[in-house]
Structure 1
Amino acid sequence: MAKPPTNKRILEQQFSRRATILCAVQLGLGGVLAGRLAWLAIAENQKWQLLSESNRLQLSLIPPRRGLLLDRTGVPLASNKSVFMIDLLPDRLEDADKVLKQLAELLDLSADETDRLKTDLEQALDHQPVRVASDVEWDQYAAVNVRLPDLPGVSPMRGFSRHYPAGAATAHLLGYVGAPSREEYEKTGDPLLMVPGMQVGKDMLEKTLDEHLTGKPGARRAEVTATGKVVRELEVRSDTIGKSVQLTIDGGLQTYASRRLGTQSGSVVVLDAVTGGVLAMASMPAYDPNSFSDGISQFEWDMLSQDERVPLRNKTLQGLYPPGSTIKPITALALLNENIDPDETVLCTGRINIAGGTFHCWRRSGHGVVDMNRAIAESCDIYFYVMGIRVGIQPIADMARRFGLGERFLGLPVPYQYYGTVPDPAWKRRRYNEPWEAYDTVNATIGQGYLLANPLQLAVMTARLAAGEKTHPKLLAAKEAPAAPLEIDPRMLAIVRQGMEDVVNGQGTATRARLPLPNIKLAGKTGTAQVRRITMAERRRGVRSNASLPWKLRDHGLFVGYAPVHRPRYTVAVVIEHGGGSGAAYPIASDTLLYLFDERQAMKRLASLENGWGGGIEERMAREAAEFAARTPSD
């Protein structure tokens, strides 16, 4: 009979079963772990290797350098310079106020600059970089780099910033660049716009040619620590610079014209009458585009935006002015086209009654017996009143449009053009629902009333007069701007041109504008545009009254001209806002054209003027107005 199992035997059997089960479980877990390890090491080896590398390596894009903007001789008007920059990355900022406080101490940021950064951070996307400072000194850049572990979200880098050698002289021509805005990114979705240090065009040629000027980004791979500190750079692929663009602008002339304007508010435009190339397009006062590229402070912005001379406005394209007597050659052509005899005379006594109203000539005592030539040369208003009423406004308006007034010049790479008004009965009915009156015609014949033009249009008008062709302006050297015939009788043009020649070289209103060159003559036309109605008492005082008026109540001064007289090559248009009369404009036009024929003599003249421009602008303008009133009358 078998013995029953003892307690010891039972315990041994139970332990053996448990050990077997435990061993099986361990073997199973070991197999799972071994399989998982094999899967990670073999099947997913590449995935985890890339993740490991991404933790150890930092990949970043290098913003591309912009292409150069060159003048007609190949001299850079806009280039790139190597700078140290500091950016903020909003999605990596942990305590923005703390970081900004430290950066303000390290970079000597003002309270205004700190406030600007706070505003920019609020408006930026989480991954959109915000520029703190550009062109940072080396010691400041090094100080930021040393403290990077304590400055999360701060991105110091070495890159390129836009540089404008001529500064304010080219501001309204070239525009400026800046960091992409949130709206620009959301509009295009281009990830390149989120790269720290990226700059895009914000105004004028920088904006309209942005796609052409923007190059291709480079890339940088660096080894970093767990905190993001760079240990060493492993590989760098350089960026590709954008395409350069050559302009028709003469860089030296552009700077000269801007300096010649001095503290005056206005515009100078110079065209090549043969090719239509814009040689200078100066608008002053202006801003420094280098400041805008680096990030302008709120204080600077307030100064610019509140200045009554509006340095932020491109006066060449956005300024609209009554052309004054500069329109009289066009009015004369319209009269000739309507078969008015140029030898027919009008008696100018200084005033005339038309349709129940009294209209005055600029010369209070009158001009006496005047034909067309003398009317242009001495700018007799009464002659054009009488003849304008005879032919009516429509022929004058049609002729003005033929010569570029009211025209938007297609093909110019500019973001805006204010093209003014050439009024006629249909326009007035459409605009004011009123009939055209005789006094409207009287005002239009001498460039007042509703008639408005910008300085570029006045320059094109003059180029077409000089060349006898429908000249089109161009800014890009590679772009063709073929001229079409004006279909105007050359004999008519000859009559008008002779009157313009006599303005400067005869007994006209701008004899002091003659070029100091023996074989080169300048032809032109002066203009004074009123900005308010003149009282009879002020009319008796004449142009001297302008000097005592507040700046914004003074007349605009204008001059258009071309040289040489017999084979015109260059044309110029000058508008001086509230300059007190044409005497503020034609010396600038004369000196600007002199630069093209004799640069040395023109620079000598400019140096002499700049040395004598002491005191404030009010004193200078009053002195110039008094000098002008003493030497010659103003139309």
Structure 2
Amino acid sequence: MGQSERRHIAGLVILVGLVGLLAVRLAWVQFVLSRQVVPGGRYTLAKTAKVQSEREVVLDSGRGRLLDRSGRPLAGKTIWTAVFFPESGAAAGGPQGPDRAAADRKEALKRLAPLLGTTPAELEKRLAEEERPYVWREKGGRQPLALSPEQASAVRQTGFDGLAVLPWTRRYGGEPVGRQWQGYLSEAPRTDGRGADGGLRVPLNGSAGLERTLEPLLRGVGHTEVYARVDAEGKRIPGTGLTVRTPANPYYPLSLYTTIDLELQEEVERLARQAGVREGAVVVLDAATGDIAAMASLPLYNPNEVSPEGGEWNNRALQAAVPGSIFKIVTAAAALEAGLASPGEVFSCAPGQEKYGLKCPPSAGHGASMTLEQGFARSCNLVFAELADRLGGERLEAAALTLGLGRDIGWREPHALGLPELRPLGGEQAGRIFAAGSRRDAAACAQTAIGQRDAAVTPLQAANLVVTLLHGGEVTAPRILRRAVFASGQTLAELPRHGAPSPAGRISPRTASQVLRMMRAVVTEGTGRSLRGAAWPLAGKSGTAQTTVKGAPRNNQWFVGYGPADRPKYAAAVLVQNVAPDSPPAAAPLFGRIMDFLAEREKTAATAEV
């Protein structure tokens, strides 16, 4: 073999070796990329090249929807918005030349800017700064600008190059709300090594409320995006058009129907703000079913901006607070059920009389004696201190547990929707009747009997207490989630109502009826007389609890009740928390305005049906 042949063979071996190394390298790159996930599947070399030649905007994260009881969106509403796709050579002109193209662009900017809430100069500046596709945001905000159908049509008619009007799924509105039960989303830790502008949507997980408790059901299978072909500079190639890419899964995302009445929820939030409530909660339950129709917590929060450290999203409707005299509902029910008192029995409330330090102020005008029904209506502490003596702590606590206080009552179901336990209302506090050992102390028992000392009740429990009486003593489990539906519209599961019975049994329908009549007397002749002019005849119980906040005396104002009194449709609890002791009453007036709204709505609906 000659020297020339040996050189050829050596060169061929080297070439084969280099090709082999290249093949190994390509296989390694393919393996590494295959471990990384992109929308629609794992990376391949072909997909990598395709992604590098595209720029996308996510239109829908693919997360499941939360709907009110009528199907109106609570989280996941689709809006129309403007999306810009910067084009290469946008001002280069066309058949008519660059001057005419520039003039047309200037005219389009002049018509487009007002529709987007900006000026032509600001819009031009933004277009010059942006190189990637982007959604036009609200002025001074982070949310995409929602366009009305008329605005969307006008934007399209401008004919502006590189602009499309597209449907975009907005998780929340931008206004503060009292829907802490709904929760919020936060960014999940990234695992792909990409930055926030790497072309992929930062994954979001539920961090509170239903967003967290229902996370396995709400988590989607991939997002919907619109993408454009781009050149080497990342700008859209004119004439290539836009393409929508979607997971096309017939089952997901799910739609989860709640029991919330969105119209009522919004009105409760509005009325609470109007009343100047800074801290507190309102719970409205359907009297017939016990379902949660509205639940508002204050202070309000913006789910788009809340942080886990902020704390404002805490749901005060599920947090226990000192109940004051609304607890007298429990004490009265316990005494009547045990046969230790009757509504017409006369008790002493002589001026200057005290029991365990409890007394009624002369301004209350209770008189030297009054019946149990009168003592309940006028909230006489001495009457209820006497009842506490007759009952004792153990019997009083047992009655409270029987009526749904001192324990979790929110709806829950084991092995529902594929979860070990479906419990939508996470973070619900059990409340308390007595601290350890104090139930045997007569003075502590008397204090608890009027809703002070150790007693703590959540607004949800307080509203449900009223429903329990309306149901003849049967404790229901308040439900906020009622149905899960596939993307195809097929029902995945109905979530039926059920009770929350106590091991100790229940009070009798007779006792429940007696207490309800006494609650009506609160409005006709007692502490709730300000509600006598309401649109519906109402019944309820007021309460004022003394607390201390950072060493300063404060009051919790309560009102719980139902309406209309002759054919109950709604039960509600209003808590105005941590106000100054000399603050004017706020809970009862707010309760009245909520019931007036419901009465007017029912009247309007009845008129429309005629």
TM-score w.r.t. structure 2 length? 0.68
Map 1:291-370; keep pairs closer than 5 Å.
291-292=305-306, 305=310, 311-318=312-319, 320-342=320-342, 343-354=344-355, 357-364=356-363, 366-370=366-370
1:286-321 CA deviation, whole Å, 9 max, x = no partner? Answer: 1211334xxx7xxxx99xx5xxxx744321113x22
Map 1:205-216; keep pairs closer than 5 Å.
205-216=210-221
Q: 1:41, 1:553 → 2: CA distance? A: 78
Name 2:475's counterpart in structure 1. Answer: 470
Name 2:496's counterpart in structure 1. Answer: 480
Q: CA deviation at 1:141?
A: 6.5
1:262-306 CA deviation, whole Å, 9 max, x = no partner? Answer: 2312111000122121011011221211334xxx7xxxx99xx5x
Name 1:3's counterpart in structure 2. Answer: none
**Unpaired segments ≥5 residues, structure 1:** 1-19, 87-136, 149-157, 187-192, 534-549, 603-635
Name 1:572's counterpart in structure 2. Answer: 572
Name 1:596's counterpart in structure 2. Answer: 598
Q: CA deviation at 1:358?
A: 3.1
Q: 2:126, 2:426 → 1: CA distance? A: 37
- Counterpart contact for 1:71–1:247, Cα < 8 Å: yes
Q: CA deviation at 1:442?
A: 1.1
Matched residue type, 1:168:
P
SS at match of 1:291: coil
- Counterpart contact for 2:479–2:497, Cα < 8 Å: yes
Name 1:68's counterpart in structure 2. Answer: 65
Q: CA deviation at 1:25?
A: 2.1
Map 1:70-219; keep pairs closer than 5 Å.
70-80=67-77, 142-146=127-131, 162-165=170-173, 167-181=175-189, 195-218=200-223
Q: 2:20, 2:236 → 1: CA distance? A: 33
- Distance change (3 Å), C-alpha of 1:77 and 1:29: same
Name 1:289's counterpart in structure 2. Answer: 303
Q: 1:255, 1:510 → 2: CA distance? A: 25
SS at match of 1:146: coil
Q: 1:250, 1:23 → 2: CA distance? A: 90
1:279 to 274, 290, 293: 293
Name 1:525's counterpart in structure 2. Answer: 541
Map 1:322-471; keep pairs closer than 5 Å.
322-342=322-342, 343-354=344-355, 357-364=356-363, 366-408=366-408, 409-411=410-412, 412-423=423-434, 427-429=435-437, 436-468=440-472, 469-471=474-476
1:502 to 511, 518, 521: 521
Q: 2:457, 2:578 → 1: CA distance? A: 16
Q: 2:461, 2:322 → 1: CA distance? A: 12
- Distance change (3 Å), C-alpha of 1:314 and 1:551: farther
- Counterpart contact for 2:285–2:291, Cα < 8 Å: yes
Q: CA deviation at 1:238?
A: 1.3
- Distance change (3 Å), C-alpha of 1:582 and 1:488: farther
Q: 1:288, 1:470 → 2: CA distance? A: 34
Q: 2:71, 2:389 → 1: CA distance? A: 52
Between structure 1 and structure 2, the one with the greater Rg is: 1
**Unpaired segments ≥5 residues, structure 2:** 31-43, 85-121, 134-165, 193-197, 413-422, 484-494, 605-610
Q: 2:18, 2:9 → 1: CA distance? A: 14
Q: 2:371, 2:29 → 1: CA distance? A: 94
Of 590-599 and 222-231, more deviation after overlay is shown by 222-231
1:571-628 CA deviation, whole Å, 9 max, x = no partner? Answer: 00000013447821111111112222213999xxxxxxxxxxxxxxxxxxxxxxxxxx
**Percent of aligned positions that are identical:** 29
- Distance change (3 Å), C-alpha of 1:166 and 1:513: farther
1:358-383 CA deviation, whole Å, 9 max, x = no partner? Answer: 32125555432111111111111111
Q: 2:174, 2:521 → 1: CA distance? A: 37
- Counterpart contact for 2:55–2:229, Cα < 8 Å: no
- Counterpart contact for 2:411–2:498, Cα < 8 Å: no
1:267 to 281, 297, 318: 281
2:266 to 248, 255, 272: 255
Q: When you count helix as a share of all residues, which structure comes out higher?
A: 1
Over aligned residues, Cα RMSD in angstroms?
4.2
- Counterpart contact for 1:57–1:222, Cα < 8 Å: no
- Counterpart contact for 2:439–2:445, Cα < 8 Å: no
SS at match of 1:499: helix
Q: 1:48, 1:470 → 2: CA distance? A: 62
Matched pairs, number: 476
Name 1:28's counterpart in structure 2. Answer: 9
Matched residue type, 1:501:
R
- Distance change (3 Å), C-alpha of 1:140 and 1:256: farther
2:245 to 234, 237, 246: 237
Matched residue type, 1:358:
G
Matched residue type, 1:250:
D
Matched residue type, 1:207:
R
- Distance change (3 Å), C-alpha of 1:280 and 1:435: closer
Q: 2:220, 2:382 → 1: CA distance? A: 60
Of 568-577 and 30-39, more deviation after overlay is shown by 30-39
- Counterpart contact for 1:462–1:562, Cα < 8 Å: yes
Q: 1:417, 1:437 → 2: CA distance? A: 29
Name 1:553's counterpart in structure 2. Answer: 553
1:60-111 CA deviation, whole Å, 9 max, x = no partner? Answer: 996733222111121112224577999xxxxxxxxxxxxxxxxxxxxxxxxx
- Distance change (3 Å), C-alpha of 1:43 and 1:402: closer
Name 2:487's counterpart in structure 1. Answer: none
- Counterpart contact for 1:271–1:571, Cα < 8 Å: yes
- Distance change (3 Å), C-alpha of 1:571 and 1:219: closer
SS at match of 2:440: coil
Q: 1:77, 1:530 → 2: CA distance? A: 36
TM-score w.r.t. structure 1 length? 0.65
SS at match of 2:293: strand
- Distance change (3 Å), C-alpha of 1:166 and 1:562: farther
Q: CA deviation at 1:446?
A: 0.5
SS at match of 1:554: strand
Q: 1:64, 1:504 → 2: CA distance? A: 51
Q: CA deviation at 1:259?
A: 1.4
- Counterpart contact for 1:557–1:575, Cα < 8 Å: yes
- Counterpart contact for 1:377–1:500, Cα < 8 Å: yes
- Distance change (3 Å), C-alpha of 1:588 and 1:52: closer
Matched residue type, 2:304:
N
Q: 1:54, 1:311 → 2: CA distance? A: 43
Q: 1:40, 1:222 → 2: CA distance? A: 35
Name 1:107's counterpart in structure 2. Answer: none
- Counterpart contact for 1:64–1:214, Cα < 8 Å: no
Q: 1:558, 1:45 → 2: CA distance? A: 71
- Distance change (3 Å), C-alpha of 1:56 and 1:177: closer
1:407-437 CA deviation, whole Å, 9 max, x = no partner? Answer: 21242402311222111xxx523xxxx7832
- Distance change (3 Å), C-alpha of 1:499 and 1:139: farther
- Distance change (3 Å), C-alpha of 1:64 and 1:503: same
1:514 to 532, 557, 560: 532
Q: 1:29, 1:52 → 2: CA distance? A: 34
- Counterpart contact for 2:403–2:506, Cα < 8 Å: no
- Counterpart contact for 2:178–2:298, Cα < 8 Å: no
Q: 2:573, 2:396 → 1: CA distance? A: 21
Matched residue type, 1:563:
G
Q: CA deviation at 1:179?
A: 1.7
